[in-house]
Amino acid sequence: MFWKPGPRLRHRTRPPFWAARCPSPSRGPEQEIEMTEHEKEEGAAVPVEEREFSVWVDPDSLPGEGRYVRLAPTESERMAIAKRLGLLGLPSFEAKVHLRPTKGGGRGVKATGTFSAKVVQACVVSLEPVEGEVAEEFEAEFGAVDDVVNIELTLEDDDPVEPFEDRGIDIGELAVQHLSLSLDPYPRAPGVAVEDLLNGDGGKKVAEVVTLNAPSGPFAELAKLKRKD
């Protein structure tokens, strides 16, 4: 089954395996917040595997009812994200995340969010730029390291709790991780038929474009996990 460019909305519950660190400014009761450049720079001051878009949230600053945070990378950040994900371009990328303490005490945090993005990938046959849109829902759960270590996981557990990083939760990286999982591995330009993949140098071109579109670094492992699902 080959993907056609266009908006789509899917619900992803399995959190990615990502690492981080982080503090963040204290906030008041539940409200919708747009992170300022100063706040993003404050979180990015600590080296964290050269992440392109980090927005930190301190779990201890969350009110009981939770908080909404809007994310919108700058043009330079989108360019860096595109390079990391093997995209030709990332014209737009926005996310909205709600974080709230989990019930039952402790320091657990449940993150639920949505994101939308316009992406440009290389066609697997012609190498032409292929524009597409993607929109998804996602969720993840985080906890203190000691709490996570003490959780007994079974084979049926699809949503393992992720440990807090030194500085809390990097929701910018979380959104980028889910964007990486939503990308089509075999984008096709309009008018390109499935048969074109099998004719002439189609197979060679597919291999070249898959390599071109392949994510780098930690995202390569995430892509492997996605293909196994």
- Position 160 scores a pLDDT of 79
Which tokens go with 134?
């993607």
Please, are residues 150 and 163 in contact by the beta-carbon 8 Å criterion? Answer: no
Do the beta carbons of residue 142 and residue 59 sit within 8 Å?
yes
Using the CB atoms, write b or e for 193-208: b if 16+ within 10 Å. eeebbeeeebeebbee
Q: 84 near 215, Cβ under 8 Å?
A: yes
23: enclosing H helix or E strand: none
Please determine, for residue 5, whether its predicted confidence score (pLDDT) is greater than 50.
no
Q: What percentage of the chain has pLDDT greater than the value 90?
A: 44
pLDDT score of 137: 97
**Nearest CA among 103, 41, 36 for reference residue 66:** 103
pLDDT at 133: 96
| Bridge pairing between strands 169-170 and 56-57 | antiparallel
pLDDT band at 38 (very low <50, low <70, confident <90, very high): very low
What percentage of residues in the chain have a pLDDT greater than 70? Answer: 55
pLDDT of 4 = 42
Give the confidence band of 7 by pLDDT, cuts at 50, 70, 90: very low
The C-alpha torsion from 88 through 51 and 56 to 151, rounded to 10°, is 110
pLDDT of residue 27: 36
Tell me what pLDDT residue 126 has. 86
Residues 165, 65: Cα–Cα separation, whole Å: 22
Higher-confidence position of 48 and 151: 48
pTM: 0.65
Catalogue the E-assigned strands of 102-220. 109-122, 129-143, 162-163, 169-170
